[in-house]
Chains A and B, each alone.
Chain A
């Protein structure tokens, strides 16, 4: 983000001879090649991990807490499809704790393009892997890709100064007043311009830091806790997450948080200028809109 490249482009207004100070349209080099490449590899990894992970969940669509959990044990969350005894119609049910929700059509029972009901926690359209064996293969392959890609990114971020320069909140960004005004700007969907657009805003920084240093490492560690070979070497993983089934539950919930992050991320991109942001993540170049004059 520091490497900026000046490119003064005359505004339409100035060309038309309107009496206004010609605004500067500046292009900065926002993302280094390592950030761009690891970002898109991450998109591929997370997509395939999510889809194969939903397939893995579908095989046993229930979550537990503690060391053990199986058919008949108390569930933390369960999704299933069954036939409603009163109507004879298929019904999809999602149970969270003691609350049961009718999720027919979305979870538990979904309908294919011909309108036929299909039983399964998550719809087949969003899962990857025709069977459990293939879903496992994809999930573990992409987990390797995610870990290697993540390691490259973390090492780069640490040694290139990317974390310090771009992600660590600056002193004045941490002042409550600044944080509140940033929240207010987000509520009003007001995008930063000019100098302020050259760095991430503080909410953005907090979010990226949480995803990079908490959520993704948590996904990897809870995933490893499900491996009986890995926990033979690192049994403290059981203690860290409260048991194998707790780790599986946290893995699932963290995956949900990641999905929410990606949704917000994509919506923010859509609101802030798809072309500009996509270009910055592909070529690195990002256009800074001039400050508002009024």
Chain B
């Protein structure tokens, strides 16, 4: 099967092609078109509300032992960002790279990788579930996002945390993701710089990636370079809270 399963990027093109052919043939306008959008959005809202009710006590996802780590962990999406900037970061072992924390915070932060590694760390062995259907188990080490947000003194009007990434997906458009404060302050929501006991590999988002364990694959943004606290998502990117969300994917991806 190796190499034969459709990739997310391939899917995007395939999806666009299918939409095109559907418009041409005019078949299935009810199910494939936008007329049922309010109903589908209602379904998403039901799932979000139900999950938030169930997760009110903020339980942790199951953590596995080192023996449970899967022999492989296929990278998905970008495996190495294009461009000279990332290349220079990479060859200098991210010595010049900095994480910015800004937006609705009282104290903006600019942290080097070493500074981040000196903050309190959490290590967890968890299951990564992709919306495509596969899953893998890996160990992640990083700083809890909640700790960074406390350091930056999050303003009371902040409602979402946006992750800006270094990988350019299309011309001038970089990967980004967002979570709300419910997930941002969950103890297992960390910014990881270590994987399976080693430094986070480039294909998995070096130097820093998000782990938001109660949501699926694409929420776990790689190559995070800036964390922005905002009160609403519509002024950012395509306005839906993430690169894939701007392309029709669900903002809440706990299922």
Instruction: State the A residues within 8 Å of B (CB).
Output: 48, 56-62, 64, 67-73, 75, 78, 80, 82, 124, 128-134, 136-138, 140-141, 144, 226-233, 235, 238, 244-245, 248
Cα–Cα, bound, A226→B134 (Å): 10
| Residue B254 CB within 8 A of the other chain | yes
Given A71-B2, A71-B3, A132-B11: A228 and B127 within 8 A (CB)? yes
| B88 / chain A contacts, CB cutoff of 8 Å | none
| Residue B238 CB within 8 A of the other chain | no
| A235 / chain B contacts, CB cutoff of 8 Å | 61-62
Do B43 and A68 touch (CB < 8 A)? no
Do B136 and A75 touch (CB < 8 A)? no
Stretch at the interface among B78-86, B101-109, B164-172, B244-252: B244-252
Smallest CB-CB separation from A127: which chain B residue? B18
Do B40 and A138 touch (CB < 8 A)? yes
Smallest CB-CB separation from B32: which chain A residue? A130
A137 touches which of B44, B70, B135, B215 (Cβ 8 Å): B44
B11 touches which of A48, A59, A248 (Cβ 8 Å): A59
Do B54 and A230 touch (CB < 8 A)? yes
Cα–Cα, bound, A48→B36 (Å): 14
Cα–Cα, bound, A130→B129 (Å): 22
Can you offer 24 A-B residue contacts whose CB atoms are under 8 A? Answer: A57-B133, A67-B127, A68-B127, A70-B72, A70-B136, A71-B1, A71-B2, A75-B1, A80-B1, A124-B18, A133-B248, A133-B249, A134-B40, A136-B131, A136-B249, A136-B250, A137-B40, A140-B255, A141-B40, A144-B43, A144-B46, A229-B55, A229-B214, A233-B54
Do A232 and B214 touch (CB < 8 A)? yes
Do B70 and A232 touch (CB < 8 A)? no
Given A59-B6, A59-B132, A229-B214: A68 and B70 within 8 A (CB)? yes
| Residue B15 CB within 8 A of the other chain | yes
Do B134 and A71 touch (CB < 8 A)? yes
Q: Is the interface of B mostly helix, strand, loop or mixed?
A: loop
| B132 / chain A contacts, CB cutoff of 8 Å | 59-60, 132
Interface residues on B, range: 35 or more
| A141 / chain B contacts, CB cutoff of 8 Å | 39-40, 42-43
| A60 / chain B contacts, CB cutoff of 8 Å | 5-6, 130, 132-134
> Can you name 18 extra interface pairs (CB under 8 A) apart from A70-B70, A131-B18, A232-B213?
A56-B133, A60-B132, A67-B64, A68-B134, A80-B4, A129-B32, A130-B18, A131-B11, A131-B12, A131-B15, A131-B248, A132-B11, A132-B15, A136-B131, A141-B39, A229-B255, A232-B61, A244-B129
Cα–Cα, bound, A68→B254 (Å): 18
A140 touches which of B28, B44, B62, B135 (Cβ 8 Å): B44
Given A70-B134, A137-B43, A235-B62: A229 and B4 within 8 A (CB)? no
| Residue B59 CB within 8 A of the other chain | yes
Given A228-B213, A229-B214: A133 and B254 within 8 A (CB)? no
| B254 / chain A contacts, CB cutoff of 8 Å | 227-230
Do B72 and A72 touch (CB < 8 A)? yes
A68 touches which of B60, B137, B213, B255 (Cβ 8 Å): B137
| A136 / chain B contacts, CB cutoff of 8 Å | 131, 249-250
A130 touches which of B15, B43, B136 (Cβ 8 Å): B15
| Residue B119 CB within 8 A of the other chain | no
Most central of B15, B62, B250 by chain A CB within 10 Å: B62
Do B46 and A229 touch (CB < 8 A)? no
Cα–Cα, bound, A57→B132 (Å): 8
Do A229 and B5 touch (CB < 8 A)? no
Do A73 and B72 touch (CB < 8 A)? yes
Q: Shortest distance in angstroms between B193's beta carbon and chain A's nearest beta carbon? A: 22
Cα–Cα, bound, A115→B125 (Å): 49
A238 touches which of B18, B39, B54, B62 (Cβ 8 Å): B62
| B136 / chain A contacts, CB cutoff of 8 Å | 68, 70
| B248 / chain A contacts, CB cutoff of 8 Å | 131, 133-134
| A71 / chain B contacts, CB cutoff of 8 Å | 1-5, 74, 134
| Residue B19 CB within 8 A of the other chain | yes
| B1 / chain A contacts, CB cutoff of 8 Å | 62, 71-72, 75, 78, 80
Smallest CB-CB separation from B64: which chain A residue? A67
Do A231 and B74 touch (CB < 8 A)? no
| B244 / chain A contacts, CB cutoff of 8 Å | 133
| A128 / chain B contacts, CB cutoff of 8 Å | 28, 31-32
| Residue B230 CB within 8 A of the other chain | no
The 3 A-B pairs with the shortest beta carbon distances in the complex, nearest first, are: A131-B15, A229-B254, A141-B43
Smallest CB-CB separation from B129: which chain A residue? A228
| A233 / chain B contacts, CB cutoff of 8 Å | 54-55, 59
Smallest CB-CB separation from B71: which chain A residue? A73
| B19 / chain A contacts, CB cutoff of 8 Å | 130-131
Cα–Cα, bound, A57→B32 (Å): 18
